[in-house]
A and B are shown apart, each in its own frame.
Chain A
Amino acid sequence: MRVVLYIARRLLFVVPQAIGISVVTFVLVRVLPGDPALVLLGTNATESSIQAVEERLGLDKPLYEQYWLYIKDVAQGDLGTSLITGNPVREDLLDRLPATLELILLGLLLSLLIGIPLGVITALSGSKGWPDRLTSPYGLFAGSIPDFWVGLILILIFYRYLDWVPAPLGQIQIGVSPPDKITGMYVVDSVLTGNWEAFKSSGSRLILPLATLVFVYTAPIVKMTRSSMDEVLNSGFVDHFEALGLSRRSIVLKALKNALPPVVTILGVLFGYLLGGAVLVEIVFSWGGAGQYAVQAIANADFAAIQGFVLIAAVFSLLTYLVVDLLYFALDPRIKY
C-alpha cells in the first residue's frame, strides 16, 4: 500500500516535468536554423508553394497556437511526420529505438555483472591490494577516453588485424533476413524465434559495439561500488555482525545490499546519458539506431523528427529516475515517504 501511494505521488511530479520537457523541446526546435518548407520543396520552391506548405504544417500560426496543436497531437500519440523519410515519426522511432535499446541495455547489464564484483573485490582488498592496482588505473583510463575512439581501436584490432568479427557495418549482414519482429532487437528476437542464422549474424555484429560500451562504462560502476562498499564496510553494523561471528561471505552479501543504492543511481545516470550518447558508438558501427536518426534529423532541420526523439529520450530518462527512486525504496527500508 505504501508503495502504491509512493508511486502515485511520485507520478504526480512527472506530469509538470513532462510539460516542462515538451515546452523546452518545442522552443528548442523552433530556433533551429533551416526552413522546413524549403527542406520539403527543394531549391525550386516558389513564394506561393512555400506559403502553402507553411500553412499545411501550421507554421504561419502564432507560436502558442503551434504549441497547443503540437501538444494535442502528442497526447494522441502523434509525433508528426518526418520531412526526410516521409514516415510518421512515431513509426520511424519505433523501428529504430529497439536497436539502440538493445545496445544500451545489454551493455549496461554486462557492465553491472562485471563492475559490481570488481568493485566489491577492490573494496575488500583495500587500497594496497592488487585489485586496486588494476581497477584504479583502468578507471582513470576508461573515464578519460572517448567511447567512439575505443570503438575505432577495437575495429582496428579485432576486425582488421585479427579478423575475429565481421565488418562494422550495421546490425545484420546484408542478405541475411532479420528475425521475425517481436521486440525489434535482432539478437533477442532471433533467440526467441530460434532463427540461428540471424542470431549468428546479428550476434557477431553486436560484439564490438557492446565491448566498446562495456569497456568505457564499467569503470564508473566499479568506482561507485568500491567507494560505497568502503563506506558500508566501515560502518557499525558490519562490526556488529563480525562480533556476532557471522561468516565473511554473509557479511559481504549484507554489506553489498546496503551499498547498492548509489550504484543504482549511477546506473540511472548512465542509462540517461547513453540514450543520447550512444549515438557516437552507433555512428562508428553504422548501427542505424534512434541516435543516428536524431543526428540525421538535426543535420536536415527535420523538426518533427528531432522533437520526437528529444521528447521520447527525455521521457525515458524521467521514467528511469522514477525507477531509480523505486529501487531505492525497495533497497532501503529506512526511506519513508
Chain B
Amino acid sequence: MAQPAVLADIEGPTPKGGLSRELAYFWYFTRQDRLFLVGLVIVGLSIFLAAFGPYIGPYGPQEIDSASGVALTGPSGDHWFGTDNVGFDVFSRVIAAPRIDLVIALASTALALAIGVPLGAFAGHFGGRPGIPSLLSEALLRVLDVLQAFPIFILALALVSATGASQGNVIAALTFLQAPVFVRLTRGAALSNESKLYVDAARCSGAPERAVAFRHVLPNSLAPALIASSVAVGQAILITAGLSFVGAGVPIPKAEWGLMISQGANQMILGKWWPSLFPGLFLGITVMGYALVGEGLRKFLDPTNRI
C-alpha cells in the first residue's frame, strides 16, 4: 500500500526497515517465550506431515506388512506403535493422518475467516444506523443467535449426515460452524474502531462507506479473528476426530486420528492400548501446539507487551 510521502516521513522508518524491525522483534520474542517456540515447532511439524506424512512412514497408511502381517501385535522394532485390528502399521498411519486432519482444519478455518471477517466488519460498521445495511446486519446477528442455541456437535453431526460423510462435507460443516465466531470477534473489533480518527479521516478524504468498511475498518479489526483462528484450527481437529469417532466424519479405512481411536476403542477393554493411545496422543500434541501459537500470537500482537 503506497502511503503519501508526508505520512511516511512522520512515521519514521521506511517500510523495509519496519519489516525487518518486526522480524527482529519476532525473533527476540520467540526466543524469550519458550512455549511459543514449542508451539511453532509443533505447528511446523504438523504442516510438514500434512505434506509428506503419507510417504515417509515405514509402511503405507493402508498397507498390510505381508512378512509379519498380523493384526494387533504390540509395539516392536518392526512396528514401533504396533499394528491395528486390520494389520495396518499404527505409526505410519499416525504420521499420515495430518494429511486429512490438518487439511480439514486449515481449510475450514481459512474459509470461515474469509466468510466471517467481512461479514463481521460489515455488521460492525453499518450496524446501529438507519438504512438497509443496518437492517441486514441486525438480521445477521439474530440468525447467529439462533444458530448458537444449537448444540454445536449435534449440529455438525446433522450437517455432515445431511450431506454424506466425506472430507469435503466435514470441511463445509466446520466452516459453517466456525464462521459465526469470526463474525462476532470482527464485529466487536470493528465497533471499537468506529470512533477512531482514521475512520473520520477516510470519510473526509471522500472514500465511500463501502471502502471505509472494507479497506480501512476491516484490516484494523483483523487481529482478534487471526488470534482466534489458531485455536480454531485445534478445535476443528477435535470436532473432526469426534465426528469420525461416531462414524459421521471421514470414512473407513482412511488414516484419520479420530477414526483410528474409534477402531481401537473396543481393544482397550482387552488391554490392547496401542491402536487408540498413539493417535490420541498425536492429536492432543497437535491441538496443544496450535493453542500455544495462538497464545503466543496474542502476546506478540499486544502492543502493551512491547518494550
Residues of A within 8 A of B (CB): 16-17, 20-21, 24, 28-29, 31-33, 140-141, 143-146, 148-149, 152-153, 155-156, 159-161, 167-168, 272-273, 275-277, 279-280, 283-284, 291, 294-295, 298-299, 306, 309-310, 313-314, 317-318, 321
Q: Tell whether B276 is near chain A: CB-to-CB under 8 Å.
A: yes
Task: Fill in one digit per residue for B146-170: 1 if any A CB lies within 8 Å of its CB, else 0.
Answer: 1101111111011101101000000
Chain A: interface secondary structure?
A: helix
Cβ-closest chain B residue relative to A278: B153
Chain B residues whose CB sits within 8 angstroms of the CB of A21 once the complex forms: 146, 149-150
* B161 touching A298, Cβ below 8 Å: yes
* Chain A CB within 10 Å, residue with most, of B154, B264, B270, B291: B154
* B155 touching A276, Cβ below 8 Å: yes
CA distance A242 to B291 in the complex (A): 37
Q: Tell whether B284 is near chain A: CB-to-CB under 8 Å.
A: yes
Chain A residues whose CB sits within 8 angstroms of the CB of B145 once the complex forms: 17, 20
Q: Tell whether B246 is near chain A: CB-to-CB under 8 Å.
A: yes
Q: Tell whether B234 is near chain A: CB-to-CB under 8 Å.
A: yes
Residues of B within 8 A of A (CB): 142-143, 145-147, 149-155, 157-159, 161-162, 164, 234, 238, 241-242, 245-248, 258, 261, 264-265, 268-271, 273, 276-277, 280, 283-285, 287-288, 291-292
Shortest C-beta distance, A159 to chain B (Å), equals: 7
24 contacts between A and B (CB under 8 A): A20-B142, A21-B146, A28-B159, A33-B161, A145-B283, A146-B280, A148-B242, A148-B261, A149-B280, A149-B283, A152-B264, A153-B277, A272-B151, A273-B152, A275-B151, A276-B151, A279-B153, A280-B153, A284-B265, A313-B151, A313-B154, A314-B150, A314-B151, A317-B149
Q: Out of A295, A306, A313, which one reaches B150, CB within 8 Å?
A: A313
Q: Out of A146, A156, A291, which one reaches B271, CB within 8 Å?
A: A156
* A144 touching B287, Cβ below 8 Å: yes
CA distance A156 to B151 in the complex (A): 29
CA distance A168 to B277 in the complex (A): 18
Chain B residues whose CB sits within 8 angstroms of the CB of A155 once the complex forms: 268-269
* B238 touching A140, Cβ below 8 Å: no
Q: A273-B152, A276-B152 are in contact. Are A168 and B261 (CB under 8 A)?
A: no
* Chain A CB within 10 Å, residue with most, of B158, B271, B280: B158
* B280 touching A153, Cβ below 8 Å: yes
* B155 touching A143, Cβ below 8 Å: no
* B288 touching A140, Cβ below 8 Å: yes
Q: A152-B261, A279-B246 are in contact. Are A146 and B146 (CB under 8 A)?
A: no
Q: Out of B150, B242, B264, which one reaches A310, CB within 8 Å?
A: B150
Q: A148-B242, A309-B154 are in contact. Are A140 and B277 (CB under 8 A)?
A: no
Shortest C-beta distance, A125 to chain B (Å), equals: 19
Chain B residues whose CB sits within 8 angstroms of the CB of A145 once the complex forms: 280, 283-284, 287
Q: A145-B284, A149-B280 are in contact. Are A31 and B162 (CB under 8 A)?
A: yes
CA distance A265 to B213 in the complex (A): 31
